[in-house]
């Protein structure tokens, strides 16, 4: 016999303590959602485990009672992966947020999944080391969520994705079993590396309860340049020109429309006098006097070839930070327009042609919608943001955007790209998964889930049905 709602709360309280079980509407609403605005949260209860044993006990109870669990981290996701819409138990990792161990020889830190990304970055800095995975939500996103979505960010061109920094993890599977994977080893050739199945699995295979992350040598004196360019083809020439002379730590882009919104909202200065259709943000380490000479030579070459119209280079740390804000403040700035976001990727060489096609698709169908482009073109990841016009009902707007999404993702498929570059699939991208994954792959996804979560307890309905 299944538990009544009151009995469920009592059973969870017996496991965790009554103070770690919440059913008030404010908590349900806050923890039952992420940054997507398409779905309404409707969990039945939110729990705050403090230990691995707590998590295991909750998962076992969910199995016994045929209940569903949605893991909750910093709730900064943009694909609905952390949405609880069907009366699920939300398992928040807010209370499992500690650094457990640090080894300066291995340069590895053991932490709980609720540790905020910025806190790991700050800890690394205290040890005179560097955690390089970085993005606009680092002040609120959590490491467990980053790993569950294989977060990318602004420095992938040099440092790679979150996946590249996970050297060990503990995971509670859908049956409540605890797996201890890789244990911090750099070299380990003993069969399947299951760690990589859980990275990017969005909580559908297991709940990440502990992580071992490696740290890096800090960058030396990062310098930032912002160049105005007229076309995306020109931006790709700029990328190639700079990469031929310097090892880059970032190569970002944003449109003039995006820049205009940030300047108006944040009061920042334009990077240069000349207005371009797009802007390329370039970061590199100033390791010697020759570095600056090479950077200026690359810039002058780009101007001579008419790939770059104008540009500026940071002279101080503060100037570098302000130039980065022109790119990093875009998401926050346009959030008031209720944007419909698409996080898509193609091979770097295909970005210009791809942007032209997608821009034409949206403009043809909805000429009154403002399109904001920005992203990480150094790794082929672009963010398409369609802004809701004032006065247009939100539900109608999202419906219209969903209709055009089919054409956008057909374009993604033609270019051999991904419908989700770094924000996961969740609920929002689930209908479009087949544009990036073949039917046989999706069937294997389902078979893998059956192994680790045979009763479909963990985040059901996410990624695939």
CATH number at residue 430: 3.30.70.2740
Return the sign of the alpha-carbon dihedral for residues 92, 98, 99, 100: negative
On whether both 49 and 103 belong to a single domain, the answer is no
On whether both 55 and 123 belong to a single domain, the answer is no
Of the candidates 331, 361, 384, which is a domain's last residue? 331
Q: 260: domain CATH number?
A: 3.30.70.2190
Q: Would you state the structure tokens that stand for residue 259, as one six-digit string?
A: 């820049």
Within a domain: residue 357? yes
On whether both 234 and 171 belong to a single domain, the answer is no
On whether both 291 and 348 belong to a single domain, the answer is no
On whether both 197 and 235 belong to a single domain, the answer is no
On whether both 183 and 271 belong to a single domain, the answer is no
Sheet holding 21-22, edge to edge: 21-22, 45-47, 89-92, 69-72
On whether both 107 and 205 belong to a single domain, the answer is yes
* Per-residue 3-state assignment (H helix, E strand, C coil) for the chain: CCCCHHHHHHHHHHHHCHHHEECCHHHHHHHCCCCCCCCCCCCCEEECCCCHHHHHHHHHHHHHHCCCEEEECCCCCCCCCCCCCCCCEEEECCCCCCEEEEECCCCEEEECCCCEHHHHHHHHHHCCCECCCCCCCCCCCEHHHHHHHCCCCCCHHHHCCHHHHEEEEEEEECCCCEEEECCCCCCCCCCCCCHHHHCCCCCCCEEEEEEEEECECCCCCEEEEEEEECCHHHHHHHHHHHHCCCCEEEEEEEEHHHHHHHHHHHCCCCCCCCCCCEEEEEEEECCCHHHHHHHHHHHHHHHHCCCCCEEEECCCHHHHHHHHHHHHCHHHHHHHHCCEEEEEECCHHHHHHHHHHHHHHHHHHCCCCEEEEEEECCCCEEEEEEECCCCCCHHHHHHHHHHHHHHHHHHHHHCCCECCCCCCCCCCCHHHHHHCCCHHHHHHHHHHHHHHCCCCCECCCCCCC
Within a domain: residue 455? no
On whether both 104 and 180 belong to a single domain, the answer is yes
Of the candidates 51, 74, 92, which is a domain's last residue? 92
On whether both 314 and 379 belong to a single domain, the answer is no
Q: How far apart (Å, rounded) are the C-alpha atoms in residues 71 and 47?
A: 10
Within a domain: residue 258? yes
Which residues are within 8 A (CB) of 214 and not within 5 positions of it... i.e. 6 or more apart?
106, 107, 108, 165, 167
pTM, rounded to two decimals: 0.93
Within a domain: residue 454? no
On whether both 344 and 416 belong to a single domain, the answer is yes
Q: How far apart (Å, rounded) are the C-alpha atoms in residues 46 and 95?
A: 12
Domain extent for 110: 99-214
Q: How far apart (Å, rounded) are the C-alpha atoms in residues 199 and 186?
A: 17
Residues β-bridged to residue 385: 341, 372
Within a domain: residue 448? no
Within a domain: residue 143? yes
Within a domain: residue 114? yes
pLDDT tens string, the chain, 465 residues long: the values are 589 999 999 999 999 999 999 999 999 999 999 988 789 999 999 999 999 999 999 999 999 999 999 999 999 988 999 999 999 999 999 999 999 999 999 999 999 999 999 999 999 999 999 999 998 889 999 999 999 999 998 999 999 999 999 999 999 999 999 999 999 999 999 999 999 999 999 999 999 999 999 999 999 999 999 999 999 999 999 999 999 999 999 999 999 999 999 999 999 999 999 999 999 999 999 998 899 999 999 999 999 999 999 999 999 999 999 999 999 999 999 988 989 888 999 999 999 999 899 989 988 988 889 999 999 989 999 999 999 999 899 889 989 998 899 999 999 999 999 999 998 999 999 999 999 999 999 999 999 999 999 999 999 999 999
Q: 149: domain CATH number?
A: 3.30.465.10
Of the candidates 331, 359, 378, which is a domain's last residue? 331
How many structural domains are present in the chain? 4
Q: List own/partner pairs for 353-358 with CB under 8 A and 24 or more apart.
A: 353/415, 354/382, 354/411, 354/412, 354/415, 354/417, 355/232, 355/382, 356/232, 357/411, 357/415, 358/384, 358/408, 358/411
On whether both 139 and 181 belong to a single domain, the answer is yes
Q: 32: domain CATH number?
A: 3.30.43.10
On whether both 321 and 411 belong to a single domain, the answer is no
Within a domain: residue 293? yes
Cβ atoms 308, 238 nearer than 8 A: yes
Cα 5 to chain center, whole Å? 34
């Amino acid at each position: 016999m299944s538990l009544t709602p009151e009995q469920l709360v009592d059973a969870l309280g017996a496991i965790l303590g009554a103070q770690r079980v919440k059913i008030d509407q404010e908590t349900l609403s806050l923890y039952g959602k992420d940054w997507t605005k398409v779905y309404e949260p409707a969990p039945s209860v939110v729990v705050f485990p403090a230990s691995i044993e707590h998590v295991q006990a909750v998962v076992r109870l969910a199995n016994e009672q045929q209940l569903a669990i949605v893991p909750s981290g910093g709730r900064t996701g943009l694909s609905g992966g952390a949405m609880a819409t069907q009366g699920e138990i939300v398992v928040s990792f807010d209370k499992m947020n500690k650094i457990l161990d640090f080894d300066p020889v291995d340069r590895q830190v053991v932490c709980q999944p609720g540790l905020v990304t910025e806190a790991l970055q700050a800890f690394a800095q205290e040890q005179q080391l560097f955690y390089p995975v970085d993005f606009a939500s680092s002040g609120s996103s959590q490491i467990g969520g980053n790993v569950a979505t294989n977060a990318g960010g602004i420095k992938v061109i040099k440092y790679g994705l979150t996946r590249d920094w996970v050297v060990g993890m503990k995971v509670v599977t859908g049956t409540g079993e605890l797996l201890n994977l890789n244990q911090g080893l750099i070299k380990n050739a003993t069969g399947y590396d299951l760690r990589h199945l859980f990275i990017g699995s969005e909580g559908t295979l297991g709940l990440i309860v502990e992580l071992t992350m490696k740290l890096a040598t800090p960058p030396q004196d990062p310098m930032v340049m912002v160049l105005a360019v007229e076309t995306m083809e020109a931006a790709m020439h700029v990328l190639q020109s700079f990469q031929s002379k310097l090892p880059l730590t970032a190569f970002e882009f944003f449109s003039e429309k995006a820049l205009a919104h940030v300047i108006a909202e944040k009061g920042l200065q334009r990077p240069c006098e000349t207005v371009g259709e797009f802007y390329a943000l370039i970061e590199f380490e100033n390791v010697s006097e020759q570095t600056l000479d090479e950077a200026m030579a690359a810039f002058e070459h780009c101007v001579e070839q008419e790939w770059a119209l104008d540009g500026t280079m940071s002279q101080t740390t503060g100037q570098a930070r302000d130039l980065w804000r022109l790119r990093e403040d875009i998401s926050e700035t346009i959030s008031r327009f209720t944007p419909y976001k698409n996080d898509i990727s193609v091979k770097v060489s295909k970005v210009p042609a791809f942007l032209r096609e997608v821009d034409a698709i949206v403009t043809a169908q909805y000429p009154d919608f403002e399109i904001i482009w920005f992203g990480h073109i150094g790794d082929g990841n672009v963010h398409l943001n369609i802004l809701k016009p004032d006065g247009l009902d939100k539900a109608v707007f999202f419906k219209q955007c969903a209709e055009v999404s089919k054409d956008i993702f057909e374009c993604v498929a033609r270019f051999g790209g991904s419908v989700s570059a770094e924000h996961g699939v969740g609920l929002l991208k689930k209908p479009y998964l087949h544009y990036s994954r073949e039917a046989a792959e999706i069937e294997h996804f389902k078979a893998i889930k059956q192994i680790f979560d045979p009763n479909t307890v963990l985040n059901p309905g996410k990624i695939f049905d």
